[in-house]
């Protein structure tokens, strides 16, 4: 085991697990990414408030006959969304929004099953070392809490205002990202102990790794502000770029002080787009620096981060100027998740090249 992996503790995790544990974790990562995709579609199609109850066990059973549908629809007709937004909606239209939210919730339960059952089998079969079991158990509990967080978010839209809290929505997204990132990092760590070590790049890798950690942090913060933008529907206004409201720095930012950074639509959108632009500049500067230092030996992961950052900013600009078409907004959201994943891969890969 190499020195850098010992010092970081990564090698101990990977050495404690059989290679198929990494495959299982990557499958779960993919399922979480699909969950984020479904959540985004649910939000963009205004389907998230169609199920007004949270029943973790019996809630997996959908309406099976007309009487069931009438019962579900009757409950929905009592919600602020129906009364203030969808008054007069037909049962067929209700079914359209119901099924997407239903699939979203059932997919979450399926992730729990796909995680828990193999986890138990892998643990009892000795493919997971005892030191790794508490981390995986913690992941399962974190995933279980995500269901509660989702319902906490939905409840905020069932009271007076037919829209969920943008803060709760962002917290729900943040928890999904944490689960995905944690699983992906563990999978990479396990794979690293079952693959040949890549070519060394020398001590200069440490500076590059610090840059990548900064990029990862910026991507996370930008992504979370994207959640605030989505929750506030801030992408539906100021649909120009690079100017916003006719200026590079618009007037009337931060009304009410610092709270405006999280509550004011104009300020939130400005913060998100500024963070994205700053992140891209940091990525490009670091990428060009790597090309000078490492030349043709520049790791593929670094190229992937650079290219995806460019694509992601392009997707964000397109989403803004086209006034948030569903397909493009969803592509932009998944692009952010992919960029975060590539950053984690690049950080881990460089750690093995010291």
| pLDDT (tens digit per residue) in 294-336 | 998 999 999 999 999 999 999 999 999 999 999 999 999 999 9
Q: What is the mean pLDDT of residues 193-197?
A: 77
Q: At what angle do helices 205-232 and 265-294 cross, to 10 degrees?
A: 160
Asked whether 122 and 130 are in contact (CB, 8 A), the reply is no
How many C-beta atoms lie closer than 10 Å to residue 256's C-beta?
10
Cα–Cα dist 289/280, whole Å: 14
- Quote the mean pLDDT of the chain: 91
pLDDT of 9 higher than 50: no
pLDDT of 13 higher than 90: no
| Residues 272-296 as b or e (16 or more Cβ within 10 Å = b) | bbebbbebbebbeebbeebeeebee
Q: What is the mean pLDDT of residues 255-259?
A: 90
The domain limits of the chain are 1-195, 201-354
Which pair of tokens denotes residue 100?
Answer: 């997407």
Cα–Cα dist 268/246, whole Å: 17
Residue 338: the pLDDT is 98
Residue 188: the pLDDT is 93
pLDDT of 203 higher than 80: no
Q: Which residues contact 8 (CB under 8 A, 6 or more apart)?
A: 351
DSSP label at residue 244: B
Q: What is the mean pLDDT of residues 135-158?
A: 94
SS3 247: strand
Which pair of tokens denotes residue 211?
Answer: 């840059």
Residue 3: the pLDDT is 39
pLDDT of 1 higher than 90: no
Residue 56: the pLDDT is 83
Residue 245: the pLDDT is 93
pTM summary value: 0.91
**In 3-state terms, the chain is what percent helix, strand and coil (to 5)?**
75, 0, 25
Asked whether 166 and 232 are in contact (CB, 8 A), the reply is yes
The alpha-carbon radius of gyration of the chain (Å, integer) is: 22
Which residue spans within the chain are E strands per DSSP? none
User: Max alpha carbon distance in the chain (Å)?
Assistant: 69
Q: What is the mean pLDDT of residues 216-241?
A: 97
Residue 4: the pLDDT is 38
């Amino acid at each position: 085991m190499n020195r850098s992996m010992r010092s970081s503790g990564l090698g101990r995790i990977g050495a404690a697990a059989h290679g198929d544990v990494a495959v299982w974790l990557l499958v779960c990562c993919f399922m979480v990414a699909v969950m984020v995709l479904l959540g985004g579609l649910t939000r963009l199609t205004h389907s998230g408030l169609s199920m007004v109850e949270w029943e973790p066990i019996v809630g997996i059973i959908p309406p099976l006959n007309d009487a069931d549908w009438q019962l579900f629809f009757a409950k929905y007709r009592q919600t602020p969304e129906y009364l203030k937004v969808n008054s007069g909606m037909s049962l067929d239209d209700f079914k359209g929004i119901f099924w997407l939210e239903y699939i979203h919730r059932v997919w979450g339960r399926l992730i729990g099953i796909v995680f828990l059952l193999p986890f138990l089998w892998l643990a009892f079969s000795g493919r997971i070392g005892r030191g790794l079991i508490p981390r995986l158990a913690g992941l399962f509990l974190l995933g279980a809490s995500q269901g509660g967080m989702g319902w906490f978010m939905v409840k905020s839209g069932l009271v007076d205002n037919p829209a969920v809290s943008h803060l709760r929505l962002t917290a729900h997204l943040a928890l999904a990202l944490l689960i995905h990132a944690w699983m992906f990092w563990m999978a990479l760590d396990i794979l690293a102990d079952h693959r040949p070590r890549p070519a060394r790049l020398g001590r200069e890798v440490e500076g590059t790794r610090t840059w990548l950690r900064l990029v990862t942090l910026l991507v996370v913060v930008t992504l979370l502000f994207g959640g605030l933008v989505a929750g506030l529907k801030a992408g539906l206004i100021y649909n120009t770029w690079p100017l916003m409201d006719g200026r590079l720095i618009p007037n009337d930012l931060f009304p009410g002080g610092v709270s405006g950074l999280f509550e004011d639509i104009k300020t939130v959108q400005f913060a998100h787009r500024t963070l994205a632009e700053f992140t891209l500049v940091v990525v490009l500067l670091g990428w060009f620096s790597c090309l000078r230092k490492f030349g043709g030996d520049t790791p593929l992961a670094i190229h992937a981060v650079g290219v995806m950052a460019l694509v992601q900013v392009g997707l964000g600009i397109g989403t803004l100027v086209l006034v948030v078409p569903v397909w493009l907004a969803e592509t932009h959201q998944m692009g952010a998740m992919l960029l975060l994943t590539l950053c984690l891969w690049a950080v881990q890969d460089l750690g093995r090249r010291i």
